[in-house]
Chain A
């Protein structure tokens, strides 16, 4: 087990290297100075040329790359010139990271909780009313664009029935860590809950059909013959087998967190990385864009790693190999 993890972590190093090259190339396509942010793309051409020289942007690409990577390793991602003008990108990301992580984790957990409960209900009552309702519900939530629901939820729970706070993250550095932590949860909950509620469809559909397949397996009959109740057969035997092919997806769902957070954070006025990315895009803050892309690349690799570890962990047949 540990060896598998170690091996996977080692594989991540060249992968990270490749991702960084990719992002470096992409950044080359952006005007101005996407790496250091010392340069306003709207200045006159002569100034730009001078400053590009000063920043070393006229050096050969590989030298620029080495230089950039070296700075990235030292935590220097340049300076923002629009979103938080003058702040280092590291500082911006640091201030935005926790809100997105807390919301992302809650959203991921709730998504699986909702999807699994719905799928279990559906499968146990196949073709009954509750099954039909859940099928229709999931079809609707997947067909309608998610931001529509986000707006509805926000209007409902922030303005009409104001039980959740409006914009902000609730993080207050002047308070103690715990106070700040719990205050953040209050802010994170509504967007996370909303994301989860409306994104169950793919897990639900897949899990439901797996559950039904597994239900017809002989080991289910054996468990029933022991006197295990139907409910427990589902919980202890069928669910795990049906969940197996999905388990690896848990890792990958990390990858989608930033993408999903873009709409939700912007609509709920919850300033995390997702909202930051939208802001950076609209104000062409290229240093920030590059940094967020780098973060996303890292998350994608981490997601792959987690997926492999999870599959190996839940499936004894893989574990042996």
Chain B
């Protein structure tokens, strides 16, 4: 299987300005030199601390943020900058489901208009499936029909087309975001916490649905989530992120069965357990790992200003690498 998208040495810095003349005095290294690739039909999980740069990676993949440096190759073609993406008509193939369903939906537009938006720019595909539909129709009737189809797919009644985002609950709004992302038959969907606002039942529907379209049409996902239960179920490969860096990278089994980095271990220990009787024991264990992390952290990071910067990844097995301590192999 070949890589659908390849990200090489991606860096995204945000300038920090200060002083009387508001000069750039520093950079926030939101994403600091990460590389990974997603194969067609696979799901790549991105897990990590809040603020570690996951959304920023997602944004530069769909073209909402221009990388500071690095390259993005989509299907072998360079699509690093927003300009290059425009030229490739890239966004019919790559769409995003946002973390924040409220602010990503225009409050002045009806649900129908919101979902029709990408269809108006890229047309209604004449077939279903990832990347399918080389003939695209811009006919209003086709757009309307497709909108209703999408609403049905995400389980919202047809009459909601004329309603506005504020009339929906958080979970319902998230489904609207999914419908919009699916509209153009993308080949890659960046799903930024797509189910974190959903209750379990709808979560199961959406996850089953994502797996189904993946199975049937070969869609790929970059799946950003902090729910490790969901990530374990959904992904083929996982990257663990901390402070803008990848600290561990491997197959899902590599990460869950043989975590090597101290941060990965801490992450896994923090998964809340359904077993109420072990509540206190879990909390104690979690606290212990946390303390261990605080104690040994220094060995795993070099100091970069105020931030702890993980070392470069070292290969452990062909699929598994981690940012190990200096000198550790």
Contacts and interface: CB of A to CB of B under 8 A. Distances in A.
B20 A2 contact: yes
A3 interface: yes
Contacts of B102: 218
A1 interface: yes
A4 B17 CA distance: 13
B209 interface: no
A46 B20 CA distance: 64
A172 interface: no
Contacts of B17: 320
Contact of A3 (B15, B22, B107, B166): B22
Contacts of A3: 21-23
Contacts of B107: 213, 216-217
Contacts of A216: 107, 166
A23 B23 CA distance: 38
Nearest to A320: B17
B159 interface: no
A319 B23 CA distance: 11
Contacts of A4: 22
Nearest to B15: A320
Interface in A1-57: 1-4
Interface residues of B, number: 10
Contacts of B23: 3
A2 B22 contact: yes
Contacts of B21: 1-3
Interface string B97-136: 0000010000110000000000000000000000000000
A51 B102 CA distance: 72
Interface residues of A, number: 10
Contacts of B22: 1-4, 319
Most buried by A among B15, B17, B20, B23: B17
A78 to B, nearest CB: 42
A85 to B, nearest CB: 51
Interface string B277-308: 00000000000000000000000000000000
A312 to B, nearest CB: 10
A304 to B, nearest CB: 21
Interface string B259-272: 00000000000000
Nearest to A216: B166
Interface string B1-38: 00000000000000101001111000000000000000
A216 B81 CA distance: 35
B64 to A, nearest CB: 14
Interface in A201-232: 213, 216-218
A31 to B, nearest CB: 51
Interface in B164-198: 166
A3 B20 CA distance: 10
Contacts of B108: 213
A2 B22 CA distance: 7
Interface string B231-260: 000000000000000000000000000000
Interface in A86-142: none
A320 B108 CA distance: 27
B239 to A, nearest CB: 28
A134 B173 CA distance: 35
B189 to A, nearest CB: 26
Nearest to A209: B108
A213 B107 CA distance: 7
A147 to B, nearest CB: 36
A216 B15 CA distance: 32
A216 B166 CA distance: 7
A4 B20 CA distance: 12
A1 B19 CA distance: 10
Nearest to A321: B15
Contacts of B166: 216
Contacts of B15: 320
Nearest to B100: A218
Nearest to B22: A1
Interface in B127-149: none
Interface string A287-321: 00000000000000000000000000000000110
A181 to B, nearest CB: 34
A171 to B, nearest CB: 40
A3 B15 CA distance: 15
B265 to A, nearest CB: 36
A149 B146 CA distance: 53
Nearest to B108: A213
A4 B21 CA distance: 9
A37 B10 CA distance: 66
Nearest to A217: B107
Nearest to A4: B22
A216 B108 CA distance: 10
A218 B105 CA distance: 13
Q: Which of B15, B21, B102 has the most CB of A within 10 A?
A: B21
A52 B15 CA distance: 60
Contacts of B20: 2
A6 to B, nearest CB: 9
Given A2-B22, A3-B22, 10 more contacts: A1-B21, A2-B20, A3-B23, A213-B107, A213-B108, A216-B107, A216-B166, A319-B22, A320-B15, A320-B17
Interface of A: 1-4, 213, 216-218, 319-320
What 5 A-B pairs are tightest by C-beta distance, nearest first?
A1-B22, A216-B166, A2-B21, A3-B21, A213-B107
6 contacts: A1-B22, A2-B22, A3-B23, A213-B107, A213-B108, A320-B15
